[in-house]
Structure 1
Amino acid sequence: MAAVGGGAMPYDRCDRYDCDVLVIGAGIVGLSAAYALTRAAPGTRVTVLEKERGPALHQTGRNSGVIHSGIYYRPGSLKARYAVRGAAEMVKFCAEHGIAHEITGKLIVATEREELPRLHALVQRGRENGIPVRELGAAQIAEYEPDVRGLAAIHVGTTGVCDYGAVARRLAESLTASGGEIRYGAEVAAVDRRPWGVAVRTADGAVVRARVLVNCAGLHCDRVARLAGDDPGMRIVPFRGEYFDLARPELVRGLVYPVPDPAFPFLGVHLTRGIDGGVHVGPNAVPALAREGYAWSAVRPRELAGTLIWPGSWRIARRHWRYGAGELHRSLSRRAFADAVRRLLPDVAEADLRPAPAGVRAQAVLRDGTLVDDFLIREAPRTIHVLNAPSPAATASLPIGRQVARRALGVLGAAGV
């Protein structure tokens, strides 16, 4: 029988499993799920497949390292619940394992009068989510950030920064120490799901048989879902986040954000003092021309075509073309980028911005052009799909991992394992 992904699997029934749960993707969410499985049910055989030569080389290892407080997210949503819980757990995890981290607090600053109602709404949202916030007038901003200017601000004391790449590596070490396995350089080529379980063939021809499949493939999660024979009802539309480093990091003490536009999942160009002492400026958000398109020169025609034929992509473009045009302008003009930064930090000059590595956000988009706002986890026979887990997924990775593990163990239990 032909595998769903093409080609033929070399079996008709399963007499032996290679593992109980097979996780695709060794980003922080996939590793957290695998880690949670080994802690919740010791003895469960867990294997992780990762197409790269190491963990956390995409979204996890290319973000600004912020431990988000959860202030932005709709009360009761998975993002709100998991970010608040996950922030505390991430700080504890870093402390226990000697991973660099710091609770810096952050300012969210209104620089125009029309932003003031949105800033006040964030105060209320933060309180509904159980997050302590302090409202500041223009003169009080200097108590936290002497070089930042604004009409008003709020201070969120629970925000911090850490090294998520180091967190992912520690999760990987804990997984293997508990008997789990990670196979690097193992890109998924085909998935065959049967009543007894799932088999995955990698690009090098190896076949891994499991009772349950967990799809945490991030930028490629929709492709993996389709390989499994499931219609995810969404597509990943990649957005590149472009960063600069600030040549004068002494201008910023902690984290400084603009008031976000609620119509978008992006938080706008902000200033982040990282654990290395440097200050990252960004991200600018522009369409990427490949799932891993970290520069304009990175183009994969097949992946780009997949984005362009998805109806939701064109509906986003029609609905938000003004916003997108501004982002493209800042991408192509460092002067325009500097102008955006000067709204918060007036003393910044164009020469103060030094190019830094970019990241790509795996944004799930529905057919009607809706940007999926919350984490999205769906179940199919013998399969758990994590279909939308961009920021603040790194912050929330430990609770997300436990939720995915509970679902996977539930499937194992239902199968009588």
Structure 2
Amino acid sequence: MSMIDRQYDVVVVGGGIIGLATSMKLTQDFPNLKVAVLEKEKEVAQHQTGHNSGVIHAGIYYAPGSQKANFCSTGGKLLRDFCDEYGIAYDMCGKLIVATDDSEVPQLEELFKRGTENGAQGLRMVNQEEIKDIEPYSAGVKAILSPNTGIIDYFEVSQAYATRMRENGGDLLTNVEVISIENKDNLLYINTTSGTVVAKYVLNCAGLHADTVARMMGVDVGVKIVPFRGEYFSIIPEKEHMVKGLIYPVPDPSMPFL
């Protein structure tokens, strides 16, 4: 079957964790819908989803009442429930957010207030002595302990989402990059490197390229995504005893996006 012969009710652009979770839920709740995910790489989760620190966040950082705050709390529980059901490992190892000197304490206390308002479970402030009890090799004057923070392999989660979506009757089309999108006769013609796919609806889950895909659809988003790249280091096995859980610095309010 050529790509031009493929017609769907919903096409999801992007095979990262957002696109796969969305398509899995659609195929689960609306089994009569024809759903497809278009992914430009040969495998899912090859960008941000598969290259991050793998943290299950508790909802500390986001503005109280915001969608991010609500989604973080609700999504974390749904994620753990899914992993429990399908046997995906995760570790609720907890997190310390450490103020290394007194100048960082006011921002730490503001963060604690924000996390409490967001309903982050089990948060408490710990002093210098307690920091050493929790993380003996960490130095600080005060810290927030978040026991409801964990780590997980989001690539594995994404693969499981893709499997469930396909089992529900959805299609995963890899090595298919979207070039342009045209609206004709109340249908969307998605032109790709492998031909054209037709859909009634397109869901934009394209990650760092979501603004580009939006413009393809004639949507003036008014913003441009500016990506940042982080680097992570693995601790050699003989030094793993030095870090028991997650240890974070107090975020710089002048650079809240980092």
* Band the TM-score falls in, shorter-chain normalisation: over 0.9
Counterparts of 2:216 and 2:82 in 1: how far apart (Å)?
A: 35
Counterparts of 1:198 and 1:147 in 2: how far apart (Å)?
A: 56
The Cα of 1:262 is off from its aligned counterpart by: 2.3
Other-structure match for 2:252: 261
1:253-282: CA deviation from partner (whole Å, max 9, x where unpaired): 000001111232345xxxxxxxxxxxxxxx
Counterparts of 1:235 and 1:266 in 2: how far apart (Å)?
A: 14
Tell me the secondary structure at the aligned position of residue 243 of structure 1. Answer: coil
The equivalent position to 2:90 in structure 1, one of 101, 120, 126, is 101
The Cα of 1:120 is off from its aligned counterpart by: 0.8
Tell me the secondary structure at the aligned position of residue 225 of structure 2. Answer: strand
State whether residues 260 and 266 of structure 1, in contact with CA within 8 Å, keep that contact through their aligned partners in structure 2: no
1:104-134: CA deviation from partner (whole Å, max 9, x where unpaired): 1110100021110011111111111112211
Other-structure match for 2:163: 173
The Cα of 1:195 is off from its aligned counterpart by: 4.3
Other-structure match for 1:154: 144
Where does 1:217-366 land on structure 2 (aligned, <5 Å)?
Answer: 217-247=206-236, 248-267=239-258
Where does 1:208-219 land on structure 2 (aligned, <5 Å)?
Answer: 208-219=197-208
Tell me the secondary structure at the aligned position of residue 233 of structure 1. Answer: coil
State whether residues 17 and 211 of structure 1, in contact with CA within 8 Å, keep that contact through their aligned partners in structure 2: no
Counterparts of 1:198 and 1:249 in 2: how far apart (Å)?
A: 52
Counterparts of 1:113 and 1:195 in 2: how far apart (Å)?
A: 63
Counterparts of 1:23 and 1:197 in 2: how far apart (Å)?
A: 15
Q: Runs of 5+ in structure 2 lacking a partner?
A: none
Q: What amino acid sits opposite 2:253 in the alignment?
A: P
Counterparts of 1:63 and 1:117 in 2: how far apart (Å)?
A: 29
State whether residues 49 and 155 of structure 2, in contact with CA within 8 Å, keep that contact through their aligned partners in structure 1: yes
The equivalent position to 1:37 in structure 2, one of 9, 22, 26, is 26
Measured on the aligned residues, the alpha-carbon RMSD in Å equals 1.5
Structure 1 segments, 4+ long, off by >4 Å, are none
Q: What amino acid sits opposite 2:41 in the alignment?
A: E
Question: Structure 2-normalised TM-score?
Answer: 0.94
The reply on whether 1:187 has 2:177 as its aligned counterpart is yes
The Cα of 1:234 is off from its aligned counterpart by: 1.0
Counterparts of 1:70 and 1:264 in 2: how far apart (Å)?
A: 18
The Cα of 1:88 is off from its aligned counterpart by: 1.4
The Cα of 1:178 is off from its aligned counterpart by: 0.6
Tell me the secondary structure at the aligned position of residue 212 of structure 2. Answer: helix
Q: What amino acid sits opposite 2:53 in the alignment?
A: S
Counterparts of 1:103 and 1:242 in 2: how far apart (Å)?
A: 23
Q: What amino acid sits opposite 1:19 in the alignment?
A: Y
Where does 1:72-111 land on structure 2 (aligned, <5 Å)?
Answer: 72-111=61-100
Counterparts of 2:256 and 2:145 in 1: how far apart (Å)?
A: 21
State whether residues 28 and 165 of structure 2, in contact with CA within 8 Å, keep that contact through their aligned partners in structure 1: no
Q: Please identify, of 32-41 and 161-170, the stretch whose mean Cα deviation from structure 2 is larger.
A: 32-41
Other-structure match for 1:314: none
Q: Runs of 5+ in structure 1 lacking a partner?
A: 1-10, 268-417
State whether residues 128 and 142 of structure 2, in contact with CA within 8 Å, keep that contact through their aligned partners in structure 1: yes
The Cα of 1:93 is off from its aligned counterpart by: 1.2
Tell me the secondary structure at the aligned position of residue 229 of structure 2. Answer: strand
The reply on whether 1:21 has 2:10 as its aligned counterpart is yes
Counterparts of 1:124 and 1:237 in 2: how far apart (Å)?
A: 29
Q: Percent identity?
A: 45
1:278-313: CA deviation from partner (whole Å, max 9, x where unpaired): xxxxxxxxxxxxxxxxxxxxxxxxxxxxxxxxxxxx
The Cα of 1:194 is off from its aligned counterpart by: 2.7
Other-structure match for 2:133: 143
Q: What amino acid sits opposite 1:34 in the alignment?
A: S
The Cα of 1:17 is off from its aligned counterpart by: 6.9
